[in-house]
Amino acid sequence: MGILNVTPDSFSDGGAFFDTNAAIDRALKMAEEGADIIDIGGESSRPGANPVPVEEEIRRVVPVISGIRRQSAVRISIDTTKSAVARRAIDAGATMVNDISAGRFDPEMLSVAALQKIPICLMHMKGTPKTMQENPSYENLMDEIRAFLADACRRAEKAGVASSNIIIDPGIGFGKTATDNLKIIKELNLLLVLEKTILIGASRKSFIGKLLGLNVEDRLEASLAAISVAYQNGAEIFRVHDVSPAKKYLSMLELLT
């Protein structure tokens, strides 16, 4: 899954693809490099980020999705917590929803995925992007994440989402310490009991910078190490900034395991 932030303030590439044509070109390039899914977001979810109004988020993402769809059949995921944005994105050609709130911020989101019969990714997050990194703590990290995601899956199925269309994400960096993020990757297999496809998004995250003292642009090798362990522990979808090296890495890893 290639990351495409159509925002001026995302932590890694904020502003680089804010222009519609630049964003479309980037998406087509990632598809060419081997991305199976392009994940498009019009609202930054970096720690401390402020919400974006619905109409502004639609204005950012819909022209990009339409432009990609005119030129490519690559799967497109809309990274949003708002059902109105999801609907417009799906009308424009998106075929998946990636909701970091797991349907908690907008109760209609699960119904949209159910009605459209498309996959939806439900992520664990403690708090909101604005507050999530304000001293996050857990009594038992993996138990709490597993219970949260189990409840999210139940809510989705109750809303009519097919079990096979539910993807889960433990939420690396979303209300977690650097040590928490390491534990999630090392113990990801504890989520296999939920019998859902697992998505992991560790690419260039700040915990890598904190642990290794690396700037955002220098975190590729460390991101690949995280991918390796997550893959061995059951992850199937990898949300990345650097598609080409990640695709080559995973292709070889599959042959070796």
Residues designated catalytic? 205, 239
Q: Identify residue 244 by its one-letter amino acid code.
A: S
Burial class (CB in 10 A: 0-12, 13-18, 19+), 174: buried
Spell out the residues 6+ positions from residue 221 whose beta carbon is closer than 8 angstroms to its own. none
Q: Identify residue 146 by its one-letter amino acid code.
A: R
Euclidean distance between CA atoms 136 and 232, whole angstroms: 27
What does the DSSP 8-state code read for residue 1? -
Q: Identify residue 257 by its one-letter amino acid code.
A: T
Euclidean distance between CA atoms 160 and 117, whole angstroms: 9
Euclidean distance between CA atoms 58 and 61, whole angstroms: 5
For β-strands 96-99 and 120-123, DSSP reports them as: parallel
User: Does residue 121 sit in helix, strand or coil?
Assistant: strand
Closest CA to 2 of 198, 245, 169: 245
